[in-house]
């Protein structure tokens, strides 16, 4: 038997490409998340070289005055935008794409996901004000006893809560798909995205709790200290 006599293997099913084409509105919605994420990554990354030069004894921060007044203000902006904003917006945007394309259907409650996105945007803008006015130079970990302006904490909570709201939209969409497809396995890419959203919500519970119960009340003077 020659090689030409061997029957060709059937082409494996491409589960990701189920034939569903995103609408223009869906593409713009996903792209909105990615644009904000990349903008945050770009701006935040600009401070990386400045930090390297600072360690080399070359201070470029003076050239940015009065917008950026110190090394630690730049370091805080760098950390918040790259470690928190970039990751959150990109993850939510990519998961939106994974759920829609993986399940081959639109979001079951798109308004919920839109509310989640705009909640995150409002949170980002709220956080940006104290960052740029040098009243939240607490690094991206924002550990006490470093204290930031209350708007910084409110903004971070809104970003986190917005991602939770988007997660709710993912759960409802997967639930609707399972209701319409009893007995079928959930597409892996969509299921993985939903599981990731659940893990994210669990992981950020502590962040929201610490801000709402300690840091935010402390920053507005309701409590004198954060150490119970």
Amino acid 133: pLDDT: 94
* DSSP, res 17: -
Amino acid 6: pLDDT: 60
The answer to whether 112 and 173 are in contact (CB under 8 A) is: no
The answer to whether 224 and 142 are in contact (CB under 8 A) is: no
The answer to whether 215 and 142 are in contact (CB under 8 A) is: yes
- Please state the length of the chain: 228
Q: Determine the Cα–Cα distance for residues 148 and 135; give it in Å rounded to an integer.
A: 6
**Which residues are within 8 A (CB) of 72 and not within 5 positions of it... i.e. 6 or more apart?**
137, 139
What mean pLDDT, rounded, does the chain reach? 91
Check whether 4 has a pLDDT greater than 60: no
The number of CA neighbours under 13 Å toward the Cβ of 134 is: 11
Average pLDDT score over residue span 135-139: 93
Amino acid 189: pLDDT: 94
Lowest mean pLDDT among 26-30, 38-42, 142-146: 142-146
Structure-token pair, residue 179: 């209701």
Q: Determine the Cα–Cα distance for residues 4 and 156; give it in Å rounded to an integer.
A: 63
Domain boundaries, the chain: 20-219
CA 161 remoteness from chain centre: 11
Structure-token pair, residue 228: 């119970």
């Amino acid at each position: 038997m020659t090689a030409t006599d061997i029957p060709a293997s059937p082409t494996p099913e491409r589960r990701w490409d189920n034939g569903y084409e995103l609408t223009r509105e869906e593409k713009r919605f996903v792209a909105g998340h990615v644009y904000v994420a990349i903008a945050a990554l770009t701006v935040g990354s600009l401070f990386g070289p400045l930090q390297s030069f600072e360690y080399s004894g070359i201070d470029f921060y003076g050239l940015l005055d009065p917008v950026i007044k110190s090394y630690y203000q730049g370091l805080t902006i760098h950390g918040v935008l790259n470690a928190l904003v970039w990751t959150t917006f990109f993850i939510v945007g990519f998961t939106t794409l994974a759920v829609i394309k993986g399940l081959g259907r639109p979001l079951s409650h798109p308004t919920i996901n839109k509310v989640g996105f705009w909640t995150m945007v409002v949170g980002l803008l709220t956080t940006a004000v104290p960052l740029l006015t040098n009243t939240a130079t607490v690094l991206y970990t924002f550990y006490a006893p470093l204290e930031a302006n209350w708007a910084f904490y409110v903004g971070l909570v809104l970003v986190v809560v917005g991602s939770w709201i988007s997660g709710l939209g993912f759960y409802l969409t997967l639930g609707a798909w399972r209701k319409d497809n009893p007995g079928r396995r959930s597409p892996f890419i969509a299921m993985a995205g939903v599981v990731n959203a659940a893990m994210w919500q669990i992981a950020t519970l502590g962040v929201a709790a610490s801000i709402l119960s300690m840091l935010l009340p402390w920053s507005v003077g309701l409590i004198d200290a954060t150490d119970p």
